[in-house]
C-alpha cells in the first residue's frame, strides 16, 4: 500500500518503515548550462529535485543514482556534472550509490546531454507526514528558494529572447552578477533544515514548490475529501528581484508567475499555530506565510 498516492514521492513498506523514492531531471535549465559552458552546479540541481521531493514525507535520504546520456562523451563535462552530484549528496547526507553513462551517437546535438536522478529514503511508518492531520487554522511556514531552482526555464528563455537580454548581461540589482549566474544558481537543498525542524516541532504537511508553482503544488498535501484551502499573505516575504525582473521584462501576469515559478518560496511547511514561534526560532531563515482556511485552492492576499 502506498499512503502517498498523488504526493511528491512513492512509498513501499519495508519492515516498520516505508522506503520513499523519487525521480526527476532539471528540465530546460540544461540549455542555459550548454550556452554558458558551465556544468558544475547542474548535478546539485539534479540531486535537489529528487531529495526535496522525498523529504516532504519526512523521509531521510539514503542513496542517490544518476543517469547521464549524451551523443559523444565529453569527459570534462561529465566530470563537472558528477562533481555537482557528489556535492548535492554531501549536502543531503546521502550516498551516491552509482549511475549510468550512455553514449547515443546522433541522438543528441553536439555538446548536449540529458540527466535524470533517482533518490531513495526511509521513514518510520508511524512518522509519515501525509497531510492527514492538517486542519483549519494551522499555520504555513515558508523556506526561501535560492532562485528559479529547476522549473520554468522554457518561460525564462522566452523572456530572455523577447527582451533581448544576454546571459552575459549584468543584472540590474547586483553589480557583480550576470543573468547567467543568477539563473544557474543551484536549487536549494532543504534536507538538513527540514529534518531538523521535524525533530523540533510537529510538522503536519510539507510542500516542495516545483513545476506548477503555488496553485498546483500546495493543494496536493490536502487529503481527498477535506475542504481545506490556503490563505497566503504576499506581504510575508519579499519576492526576489530576479522574479520581479522576469515579470516586468516578459510582461507576465502575476497569476502566471505564481503558477510557473516558486517566487522565492521553495518549500512550505504546515504546523499548528502554537508551534509557529518555536519553528521560526529554530530556523531563523524561515518565515510565516499564512494559514489553512476552509474552502479549496490557494488564495494570495
How many alpha carbons lie under 13 Å from residue 196 in its C-beta half-sphere?
A: 14
Q: Residues 161-189: what's their mean pLDDT?
A: 93
pLDDT of 296 reads: 87
Q: Residues 277-297: what's their mean pLDDT?
A: 92
Residues 164 and 71 occupy one common structural domain: no
Residue 2 has pLDDT above 50, yes or no: no
**Above pLDDT 90, what percent of the chain?**
89
Residue 94 has pLDDT above 60, yes or no: yes
Q: Residues 42-64: what's their mean pLDDT?
A: 97
Q: Is residue 150 part of a domain?
A: yes
Residues 196 and 294 occupy one common structural domain: yes
Long-range contacts of 246-250 (CB under 8 A, 24+ apart): 246/155, 246/156, 246/159, 249/159, 249/162, 249/163, 249/165, 250/155, 250/158, 250/159, 250/162, 250/163
Residue 280 has pLDDT above 60, yes or no: yes
Task: Please give the span between the terminal C-alpha atoms of the chain, in angstroms, as a whole number.
Answer: 38
Q: Residues 152-177: what's their mean pLDDT?
A: 92
pLDDT of 285 reads: 87
pLDDT of 1 reads: 40
Cell of 255: 497569476
Give the helix/strand (H/E) hosting 22: strand 17-24
Residues 146 and 295 occupy one common structural domain: yes
pLDDT in tens, 211-254: 899 999 999 998 888 889 999 999 999 999 999 999 999 999 99
Q: Is residue 206 part of a domain?
A: yes
pLDDT of 9 reads: 78
Q: Residues 13-29: what's their mean pLDDT?
A: 95
Q: Is residue 1 part of a domain?
A: no
User: Which residue(s) pair with 17 in the sheet?
Assistant: 14, 124
Range of the domain at 194: 139-300
Indicate the pLDDT class of residue 106, thresholds 50, 70 and 90.
very high
Of the candidates 154, 198, 160, the one whose C-alpha atom is nearest the C-alpha of residue 31 is: 154
Residues 41 and 117 occupy one common structural domain: yes
Q: 287 φ, ψ to 5°?
A: -150, 150
Task: For residue 122, give every residue at least 6 positions away whose Cβ sits within 8 Å of its Cβ, in sequence order, or none.
Answer: 14, 17, 18, 19, 20, 59, 60, 62
Q: Residues 180-209: what's their mean pLDDT?
A: 95
Q: Any idea what the CATH number is for the domain that residue 261 is in?
A: 3.90.650.10
pLDDT in tens, 30-44: 999 999 999 999 999
Residue 301 has pLDDT above 50, yes or no: yes
Residue 29 has pLDDT above 60, yes or no: yes
pLDDT of 7 reads: 66
Residue 91 has pLDDT above 80, yes or no: yes
Residues 98 and 224 occupy one common structural domain: no
How many alpha carbons lie under 13 Å from residue 268 in its C-beta half-sphere?
A: 30
Residue 3 has pLDDT above 50, yes or no: no
Query: Helix, strand or coil for residue 118?
Result: strand
Cell of 77: 563535462
Q: What is the DSSP letter of 138?
A: -
Residues 79 and 207 occupy one common structural domain: no
Amino acid at each position: 500500500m502506498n499512503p502517498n498516492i498523488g504526493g511528491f514521492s512513492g512509498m513501499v513498506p519495508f519492515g516498520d518503515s516505508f522506503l520513499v523514492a523519487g525521480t526527476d531531471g532539471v528540465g530546460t535549465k540544461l540549455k542555459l548550462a550548454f550556452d554558458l559552458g558551465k556544468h558544475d552546479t547542474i548535478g546539485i540541481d539534479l540531486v535537489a529535485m529528487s531529495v526535496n521531493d522525498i523529504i516532504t514525507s519526512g523521509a531521510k535520504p539514503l542513496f542517490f543514482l544518476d543517469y547521464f546520456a549524451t551523443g559523444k562523451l565529453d569527459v570534462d563535462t561529465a566530470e563537472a556534472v558528477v562533481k555537482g552530484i557528489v556535492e548535492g549528496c554531501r549536502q543531503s547526507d546521502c550516498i551516491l550509490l552509482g549511475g549510468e553513462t550512455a553514449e547515443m551517437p546522433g541522438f543528441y546535438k553536439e555538446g548536449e546531454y540529458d540527466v535524470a536522478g533517482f533518490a531513495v529514503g526511509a521513514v518510520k511508518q508511524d512518522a509519515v507526514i501525509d497531510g492527514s492531520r492538517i486542519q483549519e487554522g494551522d499555520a504555513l511556514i515558508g523556506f526561501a528558494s535560492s532562485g528559479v531552482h529547476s522549473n520554468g526555464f522554457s518561460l525564462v528563455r522566452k523572456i530572455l529572447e523577447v527582451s533581448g537580454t544576454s546571459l552575459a548581461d549584468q543584472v540590474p540589482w547586483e553589480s557583480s552578477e550576470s543573468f547567467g549566474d543568477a539563473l544557474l544558481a543551484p536549487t536549494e537543498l532543504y534536507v538538513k533544515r527540514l529534518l531538523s525542524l521535524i525533530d523540533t516541532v510537529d510538522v503536519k504537511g510539507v510542500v516542495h514548490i516545483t513545476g506548477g508553482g503555488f496553485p498546483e503544488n500546495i493543494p496536493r498535501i490536502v487529503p481527498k475529501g477535506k475542504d481545506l484551502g490556503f490563505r497566503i499573505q504576499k506581504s510575508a516575504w519579499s519576492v526576489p528581484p530576479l522574479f520581479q525582473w522576469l515579470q516586468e521584462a516578459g510582461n507576465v501576469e502575476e497569476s502566471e508567475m505564481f503558477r510557473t515559478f516558486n517566487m522565492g518560496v521553495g518549500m512550505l511547511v504546515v504546523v499548528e499555530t502554537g508551534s509557529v514561534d518555536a519553528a521560526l526560532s529554530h530556523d531563523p531563515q524561515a518565515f510565516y506565510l499564512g494559514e489553512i482556511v476552509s474552502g479549496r485552492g490557494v488564495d494570495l492576499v
